[in-house]
Amino acid sequence: MRLEGIHHVTAITGDAPANVAFYTGVLGLRLVAKSVNQDQPTVYHLFYSDEVGSAGADITFFEYPGAPRGRAGGGMVHRIAWRVGSVEAIDFWEERLGALDDAYVVRDQNALEFSDPEGLRHELVVSEADGTLSARHPEIPPEHALRGFDGVRMFSMRPEQSARMLTEIMGATALGDDVFELRGERRGGTIAFDPPPHARGLQGGGTVHHVALGTTAAEHPRWEEHLRGAGVDTSGIVDRHYFHSIYYREPGGILYEIADDAPGFTVDGPVEELGTKIILPPWYEPQRAAIEQQLTPLPDPRAAWDA
């Protein structure tokens, strides 16, 4: 069994409309699902990805309205790396992101670091690995669009134990300098560890809640058996309707999820309708009216330019 790199990254926002504006309007991702936190259905769970909602390009957010900004610390992800296709794409994004108000943009040769409006750090790196997972946007040339995740950087409170779990239990390959690769038959991605800052981490707007690693629907139950057999305390298999999940916390404090690839967001409708309406798993459908009353209205961000 081999994990397929990053399946999705889930973070927190305190402002869903501003979050949608940045990730769709600026970064050019597609809002592929407006759903709810299945453990707290009065809270949005927003999914941004490529045109079809592929695993490997899927960044998601829980919205807690008015949540103060958080701070990445021990046991938390502090940077998300995305792939682009060329140095020219880095040039494009340096200009586009640098034109924003209060922009944080730092160029380092063929990489570009920036943050979203709540301070969540991202990085763009040039890579042609594993094909292109891109969305379309009228202001972004297709050759410069984001191409899915390259990896994440984390603050581990126990880096040696974190590394052992990755290599001995999760099947990662050590690349050196506390960087590890998880690679399956279709995709791969990296996890890197950095020393944690002295300040304690605070969960809030602009911080990552957990990182999900990808596998197939066929192998997903085997990962539960494998983790349990290795002495890892897991959530068991959780049916999320759009995929299945296994959650566990590694020795350095990071919350991992292993998520499968089926059935996907089109289980509720065709690709053309992704992101246009609130979707709920079947067990919440009887509560739809009450749930929707508590959520901030979010129009389809593509409605104007698609027309």
| Tens-binned pLDDT, residue by residue, of the chain (307 aa) | 999 999 999 999 999 999 999 999 999 999 999 999 999 999 999 999 999 999 999 999 999 999 999 999 999 999 999 999 999 999 999 999 999 998 899 999 899 999 999 999 999 999 999 999 999 999 999 999 999 999 999 999 999 999 999 999 999 999 999 999 999 999 999 999 999 999 999 999 999 999 999 999 999 999 999 999 999 999 999 999 999 999 999 999 999 999 999 999 999 899 999 999 999 999 999 999 999 999 999 999 998 876 5
Please indicate, yes or no, if residue 203 is contained in any of the structural domains.
Answer: yes
pLDDT for res 305: 78
pLDDT for res 307: 58
Q: Model-level pTM?
A: 0.96
Please indicate, yes or no, if residue 17 is contained in any of the structural domains.
Answer: yes
pLDDT tens column, 132-168: 999 999 999 999 999 999 999 999 999 999 999 999 9
pLDDT for res 173: 98
Q: Could you give phi then psi for residue 27, rounded to 5 degrees?
A: -80, -15
With b for 16 or more beta-carbon neighbours within 10 A and e for fewer, the 33-51 pattern comes to bbbbbbeebebbbbbbbbe
Q: Identity (one letter) of the amino acid at 256?
A: Y
Looking at the 3D structure of the chain, how many domains does it have? 1
CA distances for 231 relative to 88, 224, 248, 252, 290, angstroms: 47, 11, 11, 16, 41
Helix (H) / strand (E) containing 89: helix 87-98
With b for 16 or more beta-carbon neighbours within 10 A and e for fewer, the 150-177 pattern comes to bbbbbbbbbbeebbebbeebbbbeeeee
Strand-pair partners of 144? none
What is the residue range of 151's domain?
6-306
pLDDT for res 262: 93
pLDDT for res 103: 87
pLDDT for res 109: 87
Q: What is the CATH number of the domain that holds 59?
A: 3.10.180.10
Please indicate, yes or no, if residue 35 is contained in any of the structural domains.
Answer: yes
- For tokens 């340096």, name the residue: 94
Please indicate, yes or no, if residue 273 is contained in any of the structural domains.
Answer: yes
Q: What percent of the chain has pLDDT over 70?
A: 99
- For tokens 């020219």, name the residue: 88
pLDDT for res 183: 97
Cβ atoms within 10 Å of 85's Cβ, excluding its own = 18
Q: Could you give phi then psi for residue 224, rounded to 5 degrees?
A: -60, -45
Cβ atoms within 10 Å of 244's Cβ, excluding its own = 20
Please indicate, yes or no, if residue 1 is contained in any of the structural domains.
Answer: no
Please indicate, yes or no, if residue 54 is contained in any of the structural domains.
Answer: yes
Torsion (CA) 36, 296, 305, 266 in degrees, nearest 10: 20
